[in-house]
Structure 1
């Protein structure tokens, strides 16, 4: 090719220069990749070019200068690639002494060994470094192990103490630690800890025993107090509740067990003044009657408060109280009964002569009185009428004072309710009377005359309440009075209800309406409901006074029933 010929031409032009620079060369060849010689120069024709193997050409193509030695060791040849674009090679050679080649070979061998050693130096250094590191780690691990062993021997007793202390904190007083065999401070500390836990365990055992005895004593006291009818409340020195028996909860209608720890003055303000007196007089028994309103009705209690004083110091209080409401009512009833008996005795004797004298004056002198005979007649009529009223009042006094014992027999309560409305229905046409009673009889044990008196009084009170409301009704307003009587059986009781739409029950002193001489009417004696309550108590019945929903009063009476009754509910009621 052109390029190849230019290379040869340049080579030949500069052959003299090459000879100048390479005067020691004995031969120069230029050949291509097929081995064909393109140009040559040598000292003589006796020198033959030794063939170049493909391996040498491959190494030359890779840019390496390949050195070739002859078999006779008298020449040294080299092959190199001339141009990268043309597959041509330069082959040169020269004569050398055999010993020079030997030295060169030794030098090359030494250089290769040096390079090999130099190449292995880093791996040797790494190996030695790894050895040093491993030895250092072994020494470090050995030191750590020795330190851990020593630290474990030093810290084990402390760890055992900490673990035992944690068990003691959680309540396990049986925790103990081993005492070290040596006589250092740790052994002294372990021994002191064991002595401490022994002492704590003994003290706790004593406390448990004491608390068990206290619980047994408390249970005994509570058992005793639960059988006491009086209310008992225990207070600490600050006046806070710490004990209350069942009777106290029942009498006060309060669950005092939920008020434990609270001041009694906050729970029962009525008792606050007693605590103040007890602080002022710690050695005295404080007694007082206290009125407490519970569930809309007042109750009277007789309260005693005593302080527990030890070495002039108040340790607590004990409050006892009894409900004397019924007792006071019975005392008032007995007192009024005695008063009524005396009044009836003292008034009844002169009433008959007064009435007879007034009637005689009217018959004998009415025709003879010429001056203002009407006034004379009115005066005598007034005397006779008032004497009659006083006589009826005396009769009520006598009835109240000398209430006979009931004569018990089987009574049909339905018939009693119906008969109680017969006369009022004909006498009061402006009032609507209604009896919601069953067709079947309701049998109870009672006195028919006294039970008729009870129903008559209750119906009459309802009539009076309706008339009182009618008198206070404004002109033009329409008011229709109504009285409803019901009778039915509920569980083990026979119930009678009297409902009216009158003026209703008073808000104040309602609970005293059944006491003697307590009335809301101007001309009332206050004995009607008192007599009713007395009769019902003799029959084992209960009386309840309530407001009717809307307006009026709702009176309820509950009787114990007899076995021959068939269950009659409110849905079985008929209207008559």
Structure 2
């Protein structure tokens, strides 16, 4: 849908909304009917919209005549569609206009009918009668109270307290809102109020004083729900009486609204003829607008139907002259015309496709041949094509280089004659039609052994084997490089593991040297340090012996032993070696017997403790806690420090080989620890503490 079409439909929607708004505003009760200027603006806006619609319709009619003079074959079909849609749209539209006009006239007549007028006038009379009755009751009550005061004053001495009593009795009997007795200075002498206050006391002005001094009763309305009466007590000098009674606020509001409605109704009744003329004009404009919109939509629908058929005629003429690019623009509708256009374009495509098919096939065959030759020549992988009898029909240059044979020595030969070690998979190849088979073999070329990776794929056509494709990769260099890398990795790990016991040896030697320099010859201390050195040297010797024998880390010699023993050894050693660190052992078990390799597990505890010592070495009040806990079928060892902690982003990499956060670290310590724990079917984890530091945890089975 183009911008022009979108703009047209937006204008139609705006016009419809404008006239719909006009209709709603002209409904009974709308304030618009009271404002002539608003009515005039509505007429002006609707007139402008109708003129624009009429202009669009005239433009469409002129375009039809222009196209007809140019002898366009499509214009005839377009005119037929227009006539059809015009008849279809005019019938319902005219019917709706006539029915709406009748209802409109009836509605205007009902607005000013006798029933409506009688209802409004009677409502006002009822409300006025209620107010009049309230005023009469107020006059009777104020005269009655005045009489009671007068009669008591003739017989007795009228004191302030007696006056208050008389007012109270009348207040309770007559159910009034307020009663006030006041003097000429508006000072209240006695009162009784429903609200127990004088907030409803409204002092009379001079005009009211003059009226009540003449012996009359003055009635005034304070607000929507209070009616007040003033009266002068004739037997008391300059003394006045004020009583208040409540009015039903709802009735009063109805009275006020009814008065307003009567005034508005009389004004509208006087202007009835003018309003009817204005409403009729707007209704005529609305009807014309609806008619024009129907015609314009009919024109649009006619154009939408005739345009694709006209385009189809033009494209057919071009295709008949051999122009296969003359396709018809397809529309997105799911109707017969859309299907016709798609079928026409598909027919052109099929004709063009058949015309070019032979040329394309020849080009494709040639390109495939060139591409296959180029790929086979550039591949470092050897490729061999076999027939169904496993005889070689084709090979690339890489095959000759890998097996050191000429083309004559390869072509026509049987695959299993060249590679005798593949004979054992011949039956598997014939039975596994849908699977590729692979095998790694050693191939002897002039006493030079090559490692070859061979993959055999079956070529099937109509469920029958027609041949095979064999690929050969020379893995000799890759395997050799992997061996070198493996040895290098082992060497690094061994160097790291030898370095661990060297640390306690060095520390023990330094302590011995320091004690000798300080002339502190403690035999037991020297023996303990010497044993530590001897023990660590034995560990190094054992590691080197194992490496020499197996060229790898020692295999775990798992036996049942007391784990608390090696934990105490490690704790005592590091606690004595690092007196500046607060070491703490939280253990409530004398023994924990479980299967483990004493030497390897000692490596793990020492490595984790060494890491904790390095983490707290640069902080004050450093501490390391060894904590044990016994579970149902396992036990747990936690080594907790308050050091610098670990970066959460690096937590997932800490057990990977060669990953380290230390400047001179090898990145093998934790990976070796993880390997040892896994060999013991245990679990190891390191997590950041909630406050500071890190916790290393080991979980072993009992």
The answer to whether the superposition gives a TM-score over 0.5 is no
Question: Of Structure 1 and Structure 2, which has the larger fraction of its residues in helix?
Answer: 2
Q: Which has the larger radius of gyration?
A: 1
